[in-house]
Amino acid sequence: MALYALDSEGVVSADEAPDRGQYWCLECNSPVQVRQGQRRRHFYHVKTSPSCRLYSKSEDHLLLQLEIKNLFAKEEIHLERPFVSIGRLADACWERCKIVFEIQCSQLSASEARSRIHDYASVGYSVVWLLDDRLFNRRILRPGELQLRQHLCYYVKFRRTTRSFFYDQFEVFQGNRRLKRGSRLSVQLPAPRQMPRSLPDRLPQQILNRIHHSRLFFQGDLIHKALLSQRVRPLAIAMQNWRFIEDSTPQDPTPTLWQSWRKRVFIEPLCRLFEYFLDSIESDR
Ligand SMILES: [Zn+2]
């Protein structure tokens, strides 16, 4: 699904496209048609096109794109903005600050994440990842999630009826498991800041990783909290605590063949089942 497509004159929005026009996908160029979805008018592919990223986009994904656009002043954000030289189509692009917002509601391989970050960096843009927490931020990490969290990467709690919630959090991993997570810290996407030259000593490793990979941070995120910890005592204590938890969490030694087989066949499916039950309890509330 997509919010924009090409017609004979150029790019057209689904809101303005008449029902019976001829349209083509911005990414794969195959024919698309316009329709009123359950919550949003959009273009859809006439034929299957699994390699096209727009083909697999859900309506929730489109709604999140529009929410991001609405967080900013009019005309600041361009949705589905093509980057022809690198063959990419950004979910939402903030030209003035050279930031691309990538919403992730589906699985993503670590190599695809790396190449997207690299491609946008090659044309001078930073990528901010927004991971849908119905799929990500679970006890078992998704492929690529660990790497992404070391970059500019936040979670989003999607809400149909009110505004969705973009957040960061402290967390500790062991192998591909999330052992511990802190409370959700609201992140203000329209308030990016440049990374300062000097930062407090002995920060948790998760913050140092982020600093290493990025030139920016956002109001409300972990790096912002680290800076505030120079003045706010409870935050300084929180920094020490997270550092302590990280230091006292041994990372998995290399598993034997039997251990990794047991983990794949028994433990991980059980964890997923447990997670599924927890989710269904949560959604029943
Ligand atoms: Zn397409």
CB 33 within 8 A of CB 51: no
C-alpha of residue 36 to centroid of ligand 1, in Å: 18
Q: How many structural domains comprise the chain?
A: 3
Q: Sign of dihedral through CA atoms 132, 188, 75, 112?
A: negative
Residues 47 and 144 reside in one and the same domain: no
Confidence bin at 51 (pLDDT 50/70/90): confident
Residues 77 and 174 reside in one and the same domain: yes
Residues 16 and 116 reside in one and the same domain: no
Residues 247 and 264 reside in one and the same domain: no
C-alpha of residue 217 to centroid of ligand 1, in Å: 32
C-alpha of residue 52 to centroid of ligand 1, in Å: 5
Residues 47 and 165 reside in one and the same domain: no
C-alpha of residue 32 to centroid of ligand 1, in Å: 8
Residues 132, 176: Cα–Cα separation, whole Å: 18
Could you tell me where the DSSP H helices lie in 48-99? Answer: 59-71
Residues 25 and 88 reside in one and the same domain: no
C-alpha of residue 11 to centroid of ligand 1, in Å: 14
Encoded tokens for 149: 């969290």
Residues 256, 267: Cα–Cα separation, whole Å: 15
Strand pairing report for 126-132 and 99-104? parallel
Residues 240 and 283 reside in one and the same domain: no
Domain that residue 15 falls in = 1-54
Report the range out of 26-30, 126-130, 194-198 with the highest average pLDDT.
Answer: 126-130
Residue 267, pLDDT score: 76
Residues 202, 72: Cα–Cα separation, whole Å: 35
Residues 146 and 183 reside in one and the same domain: yes
C-alpha of residue 183 to centroid of ligand 1, in Å: 38
Question: Across-strand partners of 155?
Answer: 131, 167
Range from 80-89, 109-118, 244-253 carrying the lowest mean pLDDT = 244-253
Asked if residue 282 has pLDDT above 60, the reply is: no
Residues 123 and 9 reside in one and the same domain: no
Asked if residue 280 has pLDDT above 70, the reply is: no
pLDDT in tens, 122-145: 999 999 999 999 999 999 999 899
What's the chain's length in residues?
A: 285
Listed in sequence order, the residues at least 6 apart from 89 whose beta carbon sits closer than 8 Å to its beta carbon are 26, 27, 53, 54, 80, 81, 82, 83
C-alpha of residue 67 to centroid of ligand 1, in Å: 22
Encoded tokens for 3: 């919010």
Q: Average pLDDT, stretch 1-17?
A: 93
Residue 252, pLDDT score: 65
Q: Contacts from 267-274 at CB under 8 Å and sequence distance 24+?
A: 268/140, 271/139, 271/140, 271/177, 272/140, 274/139
Strand pairing report for 171-174 and 177-181? antiparallel
Residues 190 and 272 reside in one and the same domain: no
C-alpha of residue 29 to centroid of ligand 1, in Å: 6
C-alpha of residue 45 to centroid of ligand 1, in Å: 7
Structure pTM?
0.83
CB 156 within 8 A of CB 129: no
C-alpha of residue 96 to centroid of ligand 1, in Å: 27
C-alpha of residue 268 to centroid of ligand 1, in Å: 34
Residues 1 and 96 reside in one and the same domain: no
Q: Average pLDDT, stretch 216-243?
A: 95
Residue 285, pLDDT score: 47
Residues 125 and 22 reside in one and the same domain: no
